[in-house]
Structure 1
Amino acid sequence: MSRTTSMSSEWTNFGRDLMVSLTDVPRGQWTTHLCGQLRGAVRNGALRPGVLLPSTRVLAADLRLSRGLVVNVYEQLVAEGYLESRPGSATLVSSMASRPATANNTQQKVASQVVRHNPGLPDLGLFPRTEWLKAYKTALGNLPDRDLHYGDPQGYEPLRYQLADYLGRVRGSTATPDQILIVNGYAQALAILATVLPRVGIDTVAVEEPGSNGTRGQLQYWGISTPPATVDNHGLRVDALESTGARAVLVTPAHHYPTGVVLSPDRRRQLLAWVDAGPRYVIEDDYDAEYRYDHAPVGSLQPLAPDLIITGSSVSKTLAPGLRLGWLVLPTALVRDAVDTKAASDLAGPTLPQAALAHFLSSGAFDRHLRRSRRRYRQRRQELADRLEPHLPPDAITGLDAGLNLCIRLPRHLDDRKVAEQLRSRGVNCQALSYYHQTAPTQGGIILDLATTTDTHLDHVIASTGTEAT
């Protein structure tokens, strides 16, 4: 008689399923076998601490065993410390039960390292939970049933309309909804571009030097070569770009990452002349242009050459990276192939978060959040400047006027990687400037996070950079 079962049982008012098997187990070994299965499930993490088990009555009925046998099994595992049993309550997996170092623990450790070593992320304590929840509820309440089907691979149409309005109003973009592709964060945008561009003969994309390691790594993962083009105090050097021979370049013109410099008007003109001499493309990473503190941010490059500029961004800096919501503004000639690539990747993005963001934009909640967070970051930026500038040489700090990170240039005798490692050991979210270089830099620096740096952290920064006031 088969005794394999997937239980559908009840404890109080809700069901508990549990996969156990007594197939071909002799009658006299049922207790030992059931004990071993449950014990093993706790040990290997299949049953995690705090998980409720079916009642002895339900488990016995589903396995067609005597209740007394199941009671004995539970009591044995309670005695061994695998389960907990409380009078009048359910039996559950013990919070003290041993379990292996799970992938979840490893992932949490890796995730914390990514955050700790990635300055420039938003203060997640500023995330507008109440307004986002309201937008989500409103979107869900208003969403027609048909929109819960597989969505449009180009993205939820109302969101594309809202983004077209927002980008036109805030970034000067001339994008239409038909040119916008909704993606699961900027990383997916890069993966799509790395698939589409080779089909038009482009397998090399020049990148800024220094520049985002994550961006460069994404492109390289998908087979794109990424020669470096030097950035100086005026932004990308177009003569250095010319020397790479690349027919596409990825730039952060509104606020270079990680140094914070802005592409100067003259360099913008040179870059537009370069792309116009094509066939070439400029990929504009417009990652945090909303956070400008001294004056209005420079506009997007997109309206200056809409057939040659690809603009990408997301809400990772303005709201939270965990939302995984981003977009590409594409030249018309690339839209169809990009949408097909997105569809082949994941059919379509999730509709509900897109609908929530559409409402968040249309209701004005996004603008209100930006005003609040911009005030907070501006205040913190001033606090950092007041604290650091008396201890630093003139022009040692760049990036204070915009964005969520700043760059401190170090004296040439200091190894910035050793300084960064020392600071991280003291809890400072920072990275060495040389980390963002493909070639050896002439001067090191420290990239410091705006959102998480405390006064105590600043004491460590001042001491570690060897720039204490004397």
Structure 2
Amino acid sequence: MWHLNLSIDGDARETLSAQLRNALRGRITDGTLRPGTRVPSTRQLATDLGVSRTVVVEAYEQLCAEGYLTSQRGSGTSVADSAHADVASALTADEAPAPEVWDLRAGGTDVSMFPRQDWIRSVSSVLRSAGPRELGYAPPSGLPPVRRTLAGYLGRVRGVRVRPEHLMITSGFAQGLALLCRVLRDQGHEAIGVEDPGHPGEWAFIADAGLRPVGVPVDREGIRVDELAATGVRAVLTTPASQFPTGAPLSRRRREHLVDWARAVDGYVVEDDFDAAFVAPAQRMPALQSVAPDRVVYAGSASKVLAPALRLGWLAAPTGLAGSIERVRAGWDIGCSGLDQLAFARLVDTGAFDRHLRRLRAEFQRRGQAVRQHVVRHLPGVAPLDASGGLQTYLVLPRWCAEESMVAAARRRSVLVRGGRFYALRADDRPPALVIGYAGVRGAELGRGLAGVAAAYRDVTARHATDVNVRRVADSDRRTGLTA
């Protein structure tokens, strides 16, 4: 397997993902990487560069969206055949700087709202009181006082029922999922159910851990438990609070059926609660784990509610899994930053975390409402799905509107979006869709991005109308010829 000769600087102002993205784009535009050239897997390149795999995944996804790379399930990632043609036609040596790009892809968050001053106060407080124990290696499963604080908080806010010693602090949700999949594989599981549509990044982590992701359809009530039962799997990953990416909450009826299913097959439900904080309190149901702590593995992280850079997550596992997960974790790494754990616990204990979440939830709800209003006014025939909250809006397009055409038209308008099939594990006849993420853009930027989407829709609509008229004329000519 060949290696890319790239270097990135951890001390640079630019993010690692942006550095990698720019370096790869440069190699493609200068002809070093030719069309069809396979690039290393995300895991290999992350190892070569000494960075998180997430850094490489984000860079590859961005370059795929820009048309420089192409990725096919089972075939890896390679330089797109059209990359050099696109670059040659779009860029010249004396051209003015490229226009601003509005990124409306789902999956991000607004780090500009990070509670910087509260965090500084928390860190300062921790440093003033930190002794040898706090400055040493933290236990792999997390510092006991932090686990106590978090267990209390999750119980108060989400109804989670977990003893602190069964709550593990992880380096984000991805690590928790990887640990869990490793344990499930060791226990004889070969596959795990996943929501379809869902999160492709999570499917990759599952596959890397040696399990096979099996798609389970989703509708307006959440995951289809009847379809899940037909797959034969004994574990499933789901987002009950607000399904990603449709935003549909798991209905009370489905919650009961899902727990019944887990007990019937002696299996587990993995509850990804990543965006429950953004669901309106009046609509928010307690965590599924609160109903069946013996069958539900509860997982969350600080990535969306604070910042991905913190790399803090948590995993509340049933007694039958907790010990095995701890043993795997002990041989995996030496734990997360103890100081960051303590600073986070301080943020929770002082109430600053709750205040921050209230501000964040109100802001994201305003943005979600703005997206839905814009769609109703400017995208006739497009239907936004009702959602309990979340950080994105799922738009169902008219049957005649190919989502690939919409994504391409939006890109020509300097707007990055993804179609519904990007989030689909299986090819089927589901209606075309567009997913608008609004967490990473705010104010005027969001408005300009939405205006670009509306303009792209007008472009696609006009082309469709022209095609229809051409077909009508051709049909009329054929009929006239037959009767002449």
Measured after TM superposition, the shift of residue 385 of structure 1 is 2.4
Q: Which residue does the alignment assign to 1:274?
A: 261
CA 1:200/1:458 → structure 2, altered by over 3 Å: closer, same or farther?
same
Q: Which residue does the alignment assign to 2:141?
A: 154
The answer on whether the counterparts of 2:245 and 2:435 sit within 8 Å (CA) in structure 1 is: yes
CA 1:137/1:424 → structure 2, altered by over 3 Å: closer, same or farther?
farther
Aligned: 1:384 with 2:371: yes
In 2, the alpha carbon distance for the partners of 1:322 and 1:218 equals 19
Q: Which residue does the alignment assign to 1:197?
A: 184
Per-residue CA deviations over 1:266-289 (Å, capped at 9, x if unaligned) read: 111111110111211000111100
CA 1:289/1:181 → structure 2, altered by over 3 Å: closer, same or farther?
same
Measured after TM superposition, the shift of residue 147 of structure 1 is 2.3
Measured after TM superposition, the shift of residue 49 of structure 1 is 12
In 1, the alpha carbon distance for the partners of 2:161 and 2:10 equals 52
In 2, the alpha carbon distance for the partners of 1:311 and 1:109 equals 25
Q: Which residue of the other structure, out of 202, 206, 220, is the alignment partner of 1:215?
A: 202
Q: Which residue does the alignment assign to 1:180?
A: 167
CA 1:200/1:392 → structure 2, altered by over 3 Å: closer, same or farther?
same
SS of residue matched to 1:407: strand
Q: Which residue does the alignment assign to 2:252?
A: 265
SS of residue matched to 2:247: coil
Q: Which moved more, 1:141-150 or 1:186-195?
A: 141-150
Q: Which residue does the alignment assign to 1:110?
A: 59
The answer on whether the counterparts of 1:381 and 1:400 sit within 8 Å (CA) in structure 2 is: no
SS of residue matched to 1:216: helix
CA 1:118/1:192 → structure 2, altered by over 3 Å: closer, same or farther?
farther
Q: Which residue does the alignment assign to 1:371?
A: 358
The answer on whether the counterparts of 1:417 and 1:434 sit within 8 Å (CA) in structure 2 is: no
Q: In structure 2, give the amino acid aligned to 1:450.
A: Y
Q: TM-score, normalised by structure 1?
A: 0.74
Aligned: 1:230 with 2:217: yes
Aligned: 1:460 with 2:452: yes
- Note the residue ranges of structure 2 that are not aligned, 5 or more in a row: 1-5, 13-31, 34-47, 66-102, 466-484
Aligned: 1:402 with 2:351: no
Q: In structure 2, give the amino acid aligned to 1:346.
A: D
In 2, the alpha carbon distance for the partners of 1:273 and 1:362 equals 36
Per-residue CA deviations over 1:436-455 (Å, capped at 9, x if unaligned) read: 11222421211111131621
Q: Which residue does the alignment assign to 1:20?
A: none
Per-residue CA deviations over 1:229-256 (Å, capped at 9, x if unaligned) read: 1001111111110111100011101100
Measured after TM superposition, the shift of residue 199 of structure 1 is 2.3
Q: Which residue does the alignment assign to 2:126?
A: 139
SS of residue matched to 1:290: helix
Query: Whose Rg is larger?
Result: 1
Per-residue CA deviations over 1:200-220 (Å, capped at 9, x if unaligned) read: 222210101111101111101
Measured after TM superposition, the shift of residue 430 of structure 1 is 2.2
Q: In structure 1, give the amino acid aligned to 2:328.
A: T
In 1, the alpha carbon distance for the partners of 2:221 and 2:378 equals 25
Q: How large is the RMSD of aligned CA atoms in angstroms?
A: 3.1
Measured after TM superposition, the shift of residue 170 of structure 1 is 0.9
Q: Which residue does the alignment assign to 2:270?
A: 283
Q: Which residue does the alignment assign to 2:432?
A: 444
Question: More relative contact order in 1 or in 2 (CA 8 Å, sep 6+)?
Answer: 2
The answer on whether the counterparts of 2:196 and 2:216 sit within 8 Å (CA) in structure 1 is: yes
What are the equivalent positions in structure 2 for 1:293-308 lying under 5 Å apart? 293=280, 295-308=282-295
Q: Which moved more, 1:238-247 or 1:292-301?
A: 292-301
In 2, the alpha carbon distance for the partners of 1:226 and 1:107 equals 21
What are the equivalent positions in structure 2 for 1:47-126 lying under 5 Å apart? 110=59, 113=62, 116=103, 118-126=105-113
CA 1:363/1:392 → structure 2, altered by over 3 Å: closer, same or farther?
same
Q: TM-score, normalised by structure 2?
A: 0.72
Q: In structure 1, give the amino acid aligned to 2:403.
A: D
The answer on whether the counterparts of 1:235 and 1:256 sit within 8 Å (CA) in structure 2 is: yes
Per-residue CA deviations over 1:343-395 (Å, capped at 9, x if unaligned) read: 21112221111111010111111001011111211222222222221234688
The answer on whether the counterparts of 2:375 and 2:382 sit within 8 Å (CA) in structure 1 is: no
Per-residue CA deviations over 1:267-321 (Å, capped at 9, x if unaligned) read: 1111111011121100011110010137241110112111110011101111111
Q: In structure 2, give the amino acid aligned to 1:371.
A: R
In 1, the alpha carbon distance for the partners of 2:7 and 2:302 equals 35
What are the equivalent positions in structure 2 for 1:307-326 lying under 5 Å apart? 307-326=294-313
CA 1:364/1:424 → structure 2, altered by over 3 Å: closer, same or farther?
farther
Q: Which residue does the alignment assign to 2:334?
A: 347
CA 1:107/1:208 → structure 2, altered by over 3 Å: closer, same or farther?
closer
Q: Which residue does the alignment assign to 1:292?
A: 279
In 1, the alpha carbon distance for the partners of 2:57 and 2:180 equals 30
Q: Which residue does the alignment assign to 1:69?
A: none
Structure 1 residue runs of 4+, over 4 Å off?
44-50, 100-104, 106-109, 114-118, 392-395, 466-470
Tell me the percent identity.
35
SS of residue matched to 2:276: coil
- Note the residue ranges of structure 1 that are not aligned, 5 or more in a row: 1-43, 51-99
Q: In structure 1, give the amino acid aligned to 2:288.
A: L
Measured after TM superposition, the shift of residue 120 of structure 1 is 3.5
SS of residue matched to 2:202: helix
Measured after TM superposition, the shift of residue 149 of structure 1 is 1.8
SS of residue matched to 1:390: helix
The answer on whether the counterparts of 1:182 and 1:349 sit within 8 Å (CA) in structure 2 is: yes
Size of the alignment, in residue pairs? 378
Q: Which residue of the other structure, out of 310, 317, 322, is the alignment partner of 1:335?
A: 322
Q: In structure 2, give the amino acid aligned to 1:110.
A: A
CA 1:125/1:427 → structure 2, altered by over 3 Å: closer, same or farther?
farther
Q: Which moved more, 1:189-198 or 1:456-465?
A: 456-465
CA 1:417/1:150 → structure 2, altered by over 3 Å: closer, same or farther?
same
In 2, the alpha carbon distance for the partners of 1:375 and 1:49 equals 34
CA 1:178/1:122 → structure 2, altered by over 3 Å: closer, same or farther?
same
In 2, the alpha carbon distance for the partners of 1:47 and 1:186 equals 25
